[in-house]
Amino acid sequence: MFLRLRIYVEIVIHIYTMNGYTQYIGLGLFILYLSALIAAKIYSPFWFHQPVHHIYELYPRWCAKPYIKRPTIPRFGVFCDLEHVYTSYLGRMNGNISQLVTHLLQGQYISNETHLFHLSESHLRKILFSSQSVISVYYDFILKEPFYRKMRDENHVWGCMTSRPVVLYFSQYSTQYIIHYGDFLCVHALYQPKNIIRNIIQTHNYQHRNVLDNSFSGVYLLKKEVDLYPEIVPFIETNTYTFILKQIPIKKLPNYIRFRRLMTKDIDIWRSVYLRMTQQFEICALPELITTIDWLQNERYHIYILVCKDHRIEHILGVYILEDTLVSWEMENIERKRMMRLSGSMIFDVTAQEEYDPYKLYFFRGFLHIMRDLLTDQTHFGILEVPNISHNCFILTRWKERYELKNETSIAYYLYNMIYPKCPRSPENAIILV
């Protein structure tokens, strides 16, 4: 704050050294800028004080490379609430908290009017696989007899937030950062008018860096759907599309092209795919390799590859990463209610520029065969969600011609405590598997 005041004083001094109309113009622009800051603070009192890329900031649009906005450990803020919000590593929390958080997310994380969230404790721990995963929960207080003492009600959780470690690769700058992906930010409907979501975010960050891990950079990757944050410049902004699946005829693949799912015996292939993703995409968010290897057996993701056999040597043409969303659409006219998400995909050779290049055509046809095989094996899946990110764009172009679009939703990823140049970035140049 003192540095900012010093900069403002130096600007005023510099303006007064000007001559004639230049001085009045400079002073007028400075007053307009201060007025905009005051308006931003009134409009968004929470995000104004957070280390994010605010829409009124000019320098981040011209910076030459990514940087951490607030490298020092955060001070106790006005929205910190250590009385109600309890933060700890997931592994240190007892089973009761895990049950309460699971119950809260099942009923409040998504709208239960049209959807059901089939989350279980085992699924929650599977997603928060790392021992460094952090969880914050919001408790309220009750009065207990005989003296009506004020005590924390640990039988009810009214809000929560989790975060888990992710490696953020920036191939353009040959750099990588250990950050956390913020997830399961949820508040019970009864407590939403109290706006406690601000307390949960701020306290989670404060406790994470001050108590749990002083070496943590404080950088989070946050995802927001539907109602995006208007006060913040998105890191990546795009749309996600939802389709009701149906049986349609598909053309056969050539005999020398086939697909298969990666299993535990394919660790070496997955290592190559992992490395290729970090090099091919400008932005890549992935857990550490050792964590992702567990995906091959715990079925968090269904990972398929499309291969071309040439003189007994197999070359990878494409990769498809599908995820069970644990969400079902509770509509009477839908028989298969469970929803699958194409979280990301990658063509191993994107040198071709033409939209209808044969290589991209095989990439799309391979996905059709994978979906048919998956739907035959997993009969409860009947809905597909495809975010327009990574090389999903090549699949979406043709997919929309075959299937009726059921829903379209805006989504955005935001960086907390980090600035990346010239945001928002193109979703086609990013892959996020968290």
C-beta neighbour count of 17 within 10 angstroms: 9
Q: Which residue has the higher pLDDT, 401 or 284?
A: 284
Enumerate the H helices of 317-430 as residue ranges.
358-377, 392-402
CB 94 within 8 A of CB 297: no
The DSSP letter of residue 65 is S
Nearest to 393 by CA among 350, 434, 358: 350
Enumerate the H helices of 175-282 as residue ranges.
197-207, 267-280
Pair 427, 385 in one domain: yes
CB 316 within 8 A of CB 348: yes
Domain count, the chain: 3
Within a domain: 27:
yes
Within a domain: 61:
no
Within a domain: 36:
yes
Which of 156, 185, 218 is a domain's end point?
218
Provide the 3-class DSSP secondary structure of residue 202. helix
Q: Tell me, what's the pLDDT at 217? A: 92
Q: Which two tokens stand for residue 110?
A: 């998504």
pLDDT category of residue 266 using cuts at 50, 70 and 90:
very high
Pair 276, 414 in one domain: yes
Q: Which domain holds residue 211?
A: 74-218
Pair 92, 146 in one domain: yes
Pair 8, 108 in one domain: no
Pair 9, 150 in one domain: no
Q: Tell me, what's the pLDDT at 2? A: 42
The DSSP letter of residue 259 is E
Within a domain: 66:
no
Within a domain: 223:
no
For residue 171, CA distances in Å to 288, 348, 349, 354, 365 come to: 16, 16, 17, 24, 29
For residue 40, pLDDT over 80 is answered with no
pLDDT category of residue 10 using cuts at 50, 70 and 90:
low
Q: How far apart are the first and last CA of the chain?
A: 35
Instruction: DSSP for 15-47, please give it.
Output: HHTS-HHHHHHHHHHHHHHHHHHHHHHHH-TTG
Which of 184, 218, 252 is a domain's end point?
218
Q: What number is the average pLDDT over the span 386-414?
A: 92
Pair 102, 6 in one domain: no
Within a domain: 82:
yes
Q: Which two tokens stand for residue 248?
A: 């349609």
Q: What is the pLDDT of residues 269-326, one digit of tens each?
A: 999 999 999 999 999 999 999 999 999 888 789 999 999 887 778 889 999 999 999 9
Q: What is the pLDDT of residues 329-359, one digit of tens each?
A: 887 677 888 999 999 999 987 654 445 566 7
Within a domain: 228:
no
Pair 269, 142 in one domain: no
Exposed, middle or buried: residue 248 (CB in 10 Å: 0-12, 13-18, 19+)?
A: exposed
Q: What number is the average pLDDT over the span 145-153?
A: 70
Pair 248, 341 in one domain: yes
Q: How does the average pLDDT of the chain come out, rounded? A: 86
Peptide bond into 287 cis (omega under 30): no
Pair 39, 108 in one domain: no
Residue that has been written with the tokens 């749990």 in this structure: 212
Q: What number is the average pLDDT over the span 222-239?
A: 94
Q: What is the pLDDT of residues 66-113, one digit of tens each?
A: 999 999 888 888 899 999 999 999 888 777 888 999 999 999 998 777
Rounded Cα gap, residues 277 and 183, in angstroms:
23
Within a domain: 50:
no
Rounded Cα gap, residues 264 and 94, in angstroms:
31
CATH code, domain carrying 257: 3.40.630.30
Nearest to 200 by CA among 59, 83, 97: 83
Pair 141, 172 in one domain: yes
The DSSP letter of residue 264 is G
For residue 12, pLDDT over 80 is answered with no
Rounded Cα gap, residues 263 and 296, in angstroms:
5
Pair 212, 257 in one domain: no
Which of 218, 251, 269 is a domain's end point?
218
CB 124 within 8 A of CB 109: no
For 211, the enclosing helix (H) or strand (E) is none
Q: What number is the average pLDDT over the span 231-260?
A: 90
For residue 358, CA distances in Å to 361, 363, 417 come to: 5, 9, 43
Q: Tell me, what's the pLDDT at 248? A: 76
User: How big is the CA angle at 103 (ends 110 and 331), to the nearest 5 degrees?
Assistant: 40
CB 149 within 8 A of CB 40: no
Rounded to two decimals, the pTM is 0.89
Centroid of chain to Cα 235: 10
Q: What number is the average pLDDT over the span 113-128?
A: 88
Rounded Cα gap, residues 84 and 369, in angstroms:
51
Pair 203, 248 in one domain: no
Exposed, middle or buried: residue 424 (CB in 10 Å: 0-12, 13-18, 19+)?
A: middle
pLDDT category of residue 43 using cuts at 50, 70 and 90:
low
